[in-house]
C-alpha cells in the first residue's frame, strides 16, 4: 500500500493536489474536512456539533475525527492505499493514525507538506469564499484557521520529522508545477 499524508495550512492546495495524486496512483482520498461537511449537509447530530466549531476556525475534537478515519479504513481495506488530506492535524491524531494503520499492518510512507506564505493563503481562500460561498472562507475565520494551524498543527511536522518521513514542497506556482514537485518527492520514498 502507498499511504500519503498531504499536509499544509488552509488554502495551501491540499484538496487541489489530492485530486491529481488520486488520478495517478489510484488511492482512496480521505479528507476530514469533506467528511465533516458531509455530516453538516446531512444535518446529523455530529454535523451540528462540527458546524459550530468549523464556523469559528477551531479544530473539531480528535475523538470525532479519528472515529471517521477508522470507519473509512475499515470500508476500504482492499484499496492500493490512502491519501490523507487535512489529517492528522494534532499530535494525538498522528499517533492514532499510526495505531489504526498498524492494525492493518500498514504505515504512512511520506508526509508531504505544502509551504505557502500567509498572504497567499488569505488571497486564495477569500477568492474561494467569493466563488463558492463556503462559510469559513471569510477574513476573520481564515485568520483564525491559520493561527490554529500554526499553534496546533505545525507540531505534527516534528512528529514525522523524527521518523524521517516529512518532505516539504514549495506550494507556490501553477497547480501542475506543484504536482510535479510532489511526484518527484514521492518517487524517492521507500514504499
Q: How many residues does the chain have?
A: 191
Cα dihedral 185, 100, 32, 65, rounded to 10, equals -140
Is 14 or 166 the residue whose CB approaches ligand B4P more closely? 14
Is 72 or 89 the residue whose CB approaches ligand B4P more closely? 89
Q: Compute how many other C-beta atoms are within 10 angstroms of the C-beta atom of residue 103.
A: 10
CA dist 152 and 127 (Å) reads 25
- The DSSP result for 26-45, as a single string, is -PEEEEHHHHHHHHHHTT-H
Residues assigned a catalytic role: 14, 89, 128, 134, 145
The upper half-sphere exposure of residue 167, i.e. CA atoms within 13 Å in the direction of its Cβ, equals 20
Q: Does 112 bind ligand B4P (CB under 6 A)?
A: no
Instruction: Tell me the C-alpha to C-alpha distance, in Å, between residue 177 and each of 110, 165, 172.
Output: 20, 22, 9
Q: Does 32 bind ligand B4P (CB under 6 A)?
A: yes
**Radius of gyration from C-alpha coordinates of the chain:** 16
Q: Residue 128 CB, nearest distance to ligand B4P (Å)?
A: 3
Q: Does 86 bind ligand B4P (CB under 6 A)?
A: yes
| 3-class DSSP assignment, residue 189 | coil
Q: Does 33 bind ligand B4P (CB under 6 A)?
A: yes
Contact mark string toward ligand B4P, 49..78, x via CB under 6 A: ----xx--x-xx----x-------------
Q: Residue 190 CB, nearest distance to ligand B4P (Å)?
A: 26
Q: Residue 154 CB, nearest distance to ligand B4P (Å)?
A: 13
Residue nearest to ligand B4P (CB): 33
Contact residues: ligand B4P, CB under 6 A: 8, 10-16, 32-33, 36, 53-54, 57, 59-60, 65, 86-87, 89, 93, 124, 128, 145, 175, 178
Amino acid at each position: 500500500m502507498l499511504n500519503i499524508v498531504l499536509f499544509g495550512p488552509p488554502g495551501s492546495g491540499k484538496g487541489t493536489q489530492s485530486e491529481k495524486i488520486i488520478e495517478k496512483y489510484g488511492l482512496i482520498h480521505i479528507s476530514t474536512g469533506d467528511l465533516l461537511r458531509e455530516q453538516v449537509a446531512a444535518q446529523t447530530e455530529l454535523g451540528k456539533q462540527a458546524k459550530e466549531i468549523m464556523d469559528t476556525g477551531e479544530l473539531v475534537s480528535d475523538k470525532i475525527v479519528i472515529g471517521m478515519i477508522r470507519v473509512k479504513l475499515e470500508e476500504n481495506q482492499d484499496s492500493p492505499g490512502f491519501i490523507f488530506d487535512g489529517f492528522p492535524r494534532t499530535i494525538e491524531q498522528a499517533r492514532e493514525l499510526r495505531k489504526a494503520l498498524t492494525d492493518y499492518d500498514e504505515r504512512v510512507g511520506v508526509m508531504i507538506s505544502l509551504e505557502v506564505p500567509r498572504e497567499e493563503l488569505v488571497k486564495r481562500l477569500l477568492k474561494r469564499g467569493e466563488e463558492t460561498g463556503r462559510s469559513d472562507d471569510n477574513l476573520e475565520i481564515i485568520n483564525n484557521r491559520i493561527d490554529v494551524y500554526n499553534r496546533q498543527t505545525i507540531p505534527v511536522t516534528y512528529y514525522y520529522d523524527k521518523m524521517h518521513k516529512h518532505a516539504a514542497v514549495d506550494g507556490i506556482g501553477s497547480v501542475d508545477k506543484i504536482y510535479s514537485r510532489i511526484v518527484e518527492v514521492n518517487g524517492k520514498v521507500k514504499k
